[in-house]
A and B are shown apart, each in its own frame.
Chain A
Amino acid sequence: MTWLNAILQGVLLGGIFAMAAAGLSLVFGVMRIANLAHGDLMILGGYVASVTAAHYGVPVPVTIVVSMVAVGGLGYLVQRSMLDRAMGLGELAPMLVTFGISVIIPNVLVQLFSSDAQPLPIGSLGTASIDLGGGLAIGWFPLITVAAAVAVLVSLHLFLFRTQPGRIVRATSDDRAVVRLMGVDNRRVYALTSVIAFATVALAGVLYTMRQGGVTPFEGQLTVLFAFETVIIGGLGSLWGTLAGGVVLGVAQSVGAQISPDLPLLAGHVVFLLVLVFRPQGLFGRSVLA
């Protein structure tokens, strides 16, 4: 039963990974940029929430919205002022820009808030759970997290596949020169993509911070790894793959922790490595069309 519980908790943990990875996958799909700052942006999202809650007395649920708007807005600025220009300079330049951002964010956070954890308390919600009997219990908060992750992925899917702006995003991902012949400004598509990606990773960051009870500046170095592993396990270009990737990584870590408290990270990395070796296109990866 403890194993079943470990798997269940892993599935619940996977929700956060999936949400964190969705934006990474989207940005890579549309702009071919591997955003190395993705984990730090997630942590930044957590900081915005905890700081507005602690210093400005904003109610904790409202901080989610504040964080998504603030980090989403940052996404617009970063895209328009830096990434657009870097994309014109070659394949490597945008990645270096994101690397720079990933160095700046944690160091600025240390300067402003020291390296102490910034708490984001959620009160009794953090410990409330549904008893399933037989020693199994589902925490309300992890359940909410998974529900939020599914909601984010479903909305993203509906946006991309059922709306005209979403179709244009996918068309731009296929051929950025040809959409211009249809009057589409590809840079506006990039800006929109970045705003969505930054806002969703901020949401993931706030939920992550709530789950951990707080956040420290350099955690992004770990979360970016989780996000990349999730995308690669699930397969690029598939949002359902991203959800599956998050769940697989979450279960691997959770089961690893059940075996030994030192193991969760290693277990996650090993599963990631196995997928890379035996199924490099990922669990749900589509073969890339010409």
Chain B
Amino acid sequence: MSTLLRVDSVDAGYGDFQALFGIDLEVAEGELLALVGANGAGKSTLLKTVAGALKPFRGTIGLAGEDVTGEPDIRRARKGVCLVPEGRRLFPSLTVEENLQVGAATGRKGPWNLAKVYEAMPLVADRRTRKAARLSGGEQQAVAIGRALMGNPRLLLLDEVSLGLAPLVVDQLYTALPGIRAEGATVILVEQDLNRTFAVADRIACVLEGRIVLTGTAAGLTRDQVTAAYFGTGAFPEVKTP
């Protein structure tokens, strides 16, 4: 399998605050990578940096062998890097269908269109004429994912899909994931629930205080290892506790 995304010794942050330190990461075409880590570990920052919404201080980002470090989010979206941002960020005054249609502004050809999104997510189809501001949290999340799919992503970045949602709603959202992968999208997702992470991920990367402290295949890692990496306990010599 060829490498789709290559993150090479990336430092990133906001102003004077550095959130990521020397991140190295590779994601193969068609793979599903789960990022695991505590709040504030830098997962969202990493996704934003990959999407181009945040410019790294140092390091390079490669997409399908091409260096895209200098390209802003607009250009990366047109190359198929589609981010479902933290907090969904729908366009509140637009209807569900209009939100989806704006998602197609990447101008990319591919399997996803309105009919296909409605088919994959019936939750969204029922609400197509409703204003996005009047949706429940789960519906908003489904629309946010649908909106990103409308851009026909090559690399789909899902930030905190289940944040603040009832488990039943999260289950519904996750049922769409196999269909999304079957259409060829590579996925990086941020998920707090370890059961779910192990169930869907090919590989898992644990982020702790801005560094990747553990990576491995879902099959090759144990829950104890991931839990230890999550909390920064156990044998991680590079992590110093004060």
**A residues neighboring B (CB under 8 Å):** 164, 167-168, 170-171, 173-175, 177-185, 289-290
Contact = CB atoms under 8 A, between A and B. Distances in A.
Contacts of B77: 180-183
Contacts of A164: 101, 104-105
Contact of A180 (B72, B94, B101, B107): B72
A188 to B, nearest CB: 10
Interface centre among B92, B102, B104, B148 (most CB of A within 10 A): B102
B40 to A, nearest CB: 21
Contacts of A290: 92, 133
Contacts of B30: none
Contacts of A179: 102, 105
The dominant DSSP class at the A interface is: helix
**Which 3 residue pairs are nearest across A and B when measured between Cβ atoms?**
A183-B77, A174-B91, A183-B106
The dominant DSSP class at the B interface is: helix
Given A177-B53, A289-B133, A182 B92 contact: no
Nearest to A286: B93
B78 A167 contact: no
6 contacts: A168-B102, A170-B98, A180-B73, A181-B73, A181-B82, A185-B74
B36 interface: no
B181 to A, nearest CB: 21
A178 B89 contact: yes
A175 B74 contact: no
Contacts of A181: 51, 53, 73, 77, 82-83, 85, 148
A182 B105 contact: yes
A30 to B, nearest CB: 12
Interface of B: 51, 53, 72-75, 77-78, 82-83, 85, 89, 91-94, 98-99, 101-107, 131, 133, 147-148, 151
Contacts of A171: 91, 94, 98-99, 102
Nearest to A237: B93
Contact of A182 (B75, B93, B98, B103): B103
A174 B102 CA distance: 12
A112 B155 CA distance: 58
Nearest to A187: B74
B229 to A, nearest CB: 29
B87 to A, nearest CB: 10
B39 to A, nearest CB: 21
B129 to A, nearest CB: 13
Interface centre among B53, B72, B74 (most CB of A within 10 A): B74
A157 to B, nearest CB: 14
Nearest to A166: B98
Contacts of A184: 74, 102, 105
Given A180-B73, A181-B85, A290-B92, 13 more contacts: A168-B105, A171-B94, A171-B102, A174-B91, A174-B92, A178-B85, A179-B105, A180-B72, A180-B77, A182-B106, A182-B147, A184-B105, A185-B74
A184 B101 CA distance: 12
B183 to A, nearest CB: 18
Interface centre among B51, B73, B151 (most CB of A within 10 A): B73
A173 B133 CA distance: 14
Contact of B102 (A167, A177, A185, A289): A167
A177 B92 CA distance: 14
B105 A183 contact: yes
Contacts of B85: 178, 181
Contacts of A180: 53, 72-74, 77
A164 B78 CA distance: 17
B96 to A, nearest CB: 12
Given A183-B74, A183-B78, A184-B74, A178 B106 contact: no
B151 A175 contact: no
Nearest to A177: B53
Contacts of B105: 164, 168, 179, 182-184
Contacts of A167: 94, 98, 101-102
Contact of A170 (B51, B53, B94): B94
A167 B98 CA distance: 7
A264 B167 CA distance: 64
Given A164-B101, A177-B53, A183-B105, A289 B92 contact: yes
